[in-house]
């Protein structure tokens, strides 16, 4: 089973990571380091949210709807106002608060060397793409 990182690096035949790099003015190496530092928090949030039957059902319904597939298929759409809004909604479900999202970005900044503000901007786009 591919990891979240594998899924993102394969999005649009690898162009998804390139789109993230271009959008946020990062090199591919910085983008990969940033994504690798952020994704463990996404995994933990997904595990926490699917640990009970209600959460699992809500997650499966969201996945089955396919409404977020457009962001995986075309990362540039994840940077649109709608993509960011939907990504912020996903982050709310995954992390529960903006404070936790900021903490995730702070920790990822320390691990990746990428500016925390950039990581905070990346979070909603990545959330839209991952769903």
- Residue 97: pLDDT band by 50, 70, 90 thresholds? confident
User: What angle do helix axes 98-112 and 116-130 make, rounded to 10 degrees?
Assistant: 110
For 3-19, give the DSSP string.
-HHHHHHHGGGGHHHHH
What integer pLDDT is reported at residue 62 of this predicted model?
63
Q: What is the pLDDT of residues 30-76, one digit of tens each?
A: 999 999 999 999 888 878 876 777 766 666 666 655 565 677 677 78
What integer pLDDT is reported at residue 108 of this predicted model?
96
Is pLDDT larger for residue 81 or for residue 67?
81
Domain boundaries, the chain: 4-130
pTM score above 0.85:
no
């Amino acid at each position: 089973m591919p990891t979240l990182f594998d899924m993102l690096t394969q999005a649009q035949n690898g162009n998804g990571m390139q789109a993230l790099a271009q959008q946020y003015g990062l090199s591919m190496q910085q983008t990969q380091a940033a994504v690798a530092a952020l994704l463990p928090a996404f995994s933990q949030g997904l595990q926490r949210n699917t640990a009970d039957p209600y959460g699992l059902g809500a997650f499966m319904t969201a996945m089955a709807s396919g409404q977020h597939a457009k962001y995986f298929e075309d990362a540039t759409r994840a940077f649109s106002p709608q993509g960011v809004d939907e990504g912020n909604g996903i982050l709310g479900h995954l992390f529960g608060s903006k404070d936790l999202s900021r903490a995730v970005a702070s920790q990822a900044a320390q691990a990746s060397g990428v500016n925390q503000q950039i990581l905070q901007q990346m979070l909603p786009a990545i959330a839209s793409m991952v769903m």
